[in-house]
Amino acid sequence: MLIDGVAESPGGAHFTANPPDYGRDEKFQKEYAASATDPAEWDAFAKRYVFVDDDEYRAHVAEGQEA
């Protein structure tokens, strides 16, 4: 009754879990938490993951999974 629409966003719950599609991304969560301890680290994290479009975000996440 209060919903006007739904948008599909594959991986939209990343870095948390969305069972049964995918689990938590522990490696990413550790990178996120570590970046919060230092303003320069947070700035680098945000430039890589936050201030980018969805395709670039997914590409960076995929790169992190390969390493």
Amino acid 67: pLDDT? 62
Query: What is the total count of domains within the chain?
Result: 1
Range of the domain at 49: 26-66
Q: Which residues contact 44 (CB under 8 A, 6 or more apart)?
A: 35
5 assigned to some structural domain = no
d(CA 6, CA 41): 34
54 assigned to some structural domain = yes
pLDDT at residue 29 above 70?
Answer: yes
52 assigned to some structural domain = yes
Q: What value does the mean pLDDT take over residues 6-11? A: 88
pLDDT at residue 1 above 90?
Answer: no
15 assigned to some structural domain = no
Amino acid 20: pLDDT? 93
What pLDDT band is residue 10 in, cutting at 50, 70 and 90? confident
What pLDDT band is residue 30 in, cutting at 50, 70 and 90? very high
d(CA 34, CA 6): 33
10 assigned to some structural domain = no
